[in-house]
Amino acid sequence: MSGSTFGKLFRVTTWGESHGAAIGAVIDGCPAGLPLNESDIQTFLDRRKPGQSKYTTKRNETDQAEILSGVFEGRTTGTPISIIVRNQDQRSRDYGNLAYTYRPGHADYTFTQKYGIRDYRGGGRSSGRETIGRVAAGAIASLLLKELGIELAAYARSIGPVSVPEDEYRFSEITENSLYMPNNQAAAKAAEYLDSLIAAQDSCGGTIECQVAGLPAGLGEPVFDKLDACLAKAVMSIGAVKAVEIGEGLHAASLTGSINNDAFASENGRIYKKTNHSGGVLGGMSDGSTLIVRAAVKPTPSISREQQTVTEDGEETSISIHGRHDPIIVPRAVVVVEAMTALTLADLLLENMGSRLDKVKAYYTEEKNVQ
Ligand SMILES: Cc1cc2nc3c(=O)[nH]c(=O)nc-3n(C[C@H](O)[C@H](O)[C@H](O)COP(=O)(O)O)c2cc1C
């Protein structure tokens, strides 16, 4: 099994290797009638493509999305949507000397142990390029959510030691700096830190946060498919993500109940929470407030500094990786976290439609009236 399919009703399968002919996704279960064209997908893909700044890899990939099926006259038809992105500028010779050597921090050793064969060119299926399929599918999920008034915003909350405190978030600045931080001053500081790492032939990690506004209460299926459990799986499946938090996350462990609990209040018959330590999830279901998901991303494993390792035969050697790699993964992974969040929500939204008899009845009664 390759574990390449995600979701139950809004289902995505990603395929392709980083140095193969192409990479892409098949999305099945998208309702018919959603307006969709290639530029909708391209806008998302452009946010993850390399070469956007000196902090992202210099590979010159245009990553042009082509829709092969599932769309007719600018609308989804309800049949599988197939998207292809042909690989370009793949210099496989950059990787030739790595064919028999295990790169520290990469999946080379585990792929060899599991399959006995691996595509060593750029990590094959474990490459960051695999996320192209996720982002293309996430673009469609986001459009579906938008139709329902649900909006997502993702950004780099911290890079190395530079973190943006919540009260200094300025969302309009996210697209004004190449690091996608919600504060230009913090981004300038982070850029200085990255310059020092480049000089030291090293890399760093950071955190990505995604906020979702406009979610109705009740999304998520107790008990194994709770919203937070599904989000954790979705976001943790992104390469280099090492932890996922919802709301207070790890910090909740050091709080008291009286602080961590969100008090309920009511205004004109509308029930709401006065605070949002829960991050928008209670009992595994959305609670109607803003959903807050956070991902910790490890430092880029490929560094040009010399590291100790072994060959496939167990012979000790050293390695310094001079291919084209990001000194920080975070800026390019921001849209990937957003995409995986959107895919999770689109799937749970469709699943939630069958949760109550009155709603099922209303749906079919309405349908009859339409026919
Ligand atoms: C968008 C994205 C881009 C990435 N780019 C690189 C890169 O340029 N160089 C690198 O060494 N790792 C990169 N990675 C991370 C590796 O794919 C990942 O760390 C590796 O496969 C090992 O998997 P693990 O970190 O989940 O254990 C990237 C990951 C993502 C999500």
* pLDDT tens for each residue of 168-184: 999 999 999 999 999 99
Is residue 89 over pLDDT 70? no
Enumerate residues 6+ apart whose C-beta is below 8 A from 68: 82, 83, 84
Q: Which atom of ligand 1 is nearest to the CA of 240?
A: 25
Query: What pLDDT band is residue 367 in, cutting at 50, 70 and 90?
Result: low
Average pLDDT over residues 126-132: 94
Enumerate residues 6+ apart whose C-beta is below 8 A from 22: 16, 84, 85, 86, 87
Task: Give the range among 91-105, 176-190, 302-316 with minimum mean pLDDT.
Answer: 91-105
Instruction: Look at residue 41 in the predicted model and tell me its pLDDT.
Output: 98
Instruction: Look at residue 123 in the predicted model and tell me its pLDDT.
Output: 83
Q: Which atom of ligand 1 is nearest to the CA of 48?
A: 1
- From atom 11 of ligand 1, which residue's Cα is the shortest distance away? 302
Tell me: the pLDDT tens digits for 202-226? 999 999 999 999 999 999 999 999 9
What's this model's pTM, rounded to 2 decimal places?
A: 0.96
In the chain, the percentage of residues whose pLDDT exceeds 70 is: 93
Average pLDDT over residues 135-152: 98
Is residue 15 over pLDDT 90? yes
Is residue 92 over pLDDT 90? no
Q: With beta carbons less than 8 A apart as the criterion, state whether 35 and 143 touch.
A: yes
Tell me: the pLDDT tens digits for 346-355? 999 999 999 9
Q: Which atom of ligand 1 is nearest to the CA of 324?
A: 8
Please state, in angstroms and rounded to a whole number, the distance separating the CA atoms of residues 138 and 338: 7
Is residue 17 over pLDDT 80? yes
Q: Which pairing describes strands 65-69 and 71-72: parallel, antiparallel, or unpaired?
A: unpaired
Is residue 93 over pLDDT 90? no
Query: What pLDDT band is residue 99 in, cutting at 50, 70 and 90?
Result: confident
Enumerate residues 6+ apart whose C-beta is below 8 A from 328: 55, 159, 160, 179, 194, 197, 203, 204, 205, 206, 299, 300
Residues having CB closer than 6 A to ligand 1 are 48, 57, 106-107, 123, 126-128, 131, 238-240, 298, 300-302, 325-326, 329, 332-333, 336
Is residue 297 over pLDDT 60? yes
Task: Give the range among 85-94, 151-160, 234-243 with minimum mean pLDDT.
Answer: 85-94
Return the residue matching tokens 């307006």: 35
Q: How far is the CA of 340 from the centre of ligand 1 (A)?
A: 16
Please state, in angstroms and rounded to a whole number, the distance separating the CA atoms of residues 244 and 259: 22
- From atom 24 of ligand 1, which residue's Cα is the shortest distance away? 240
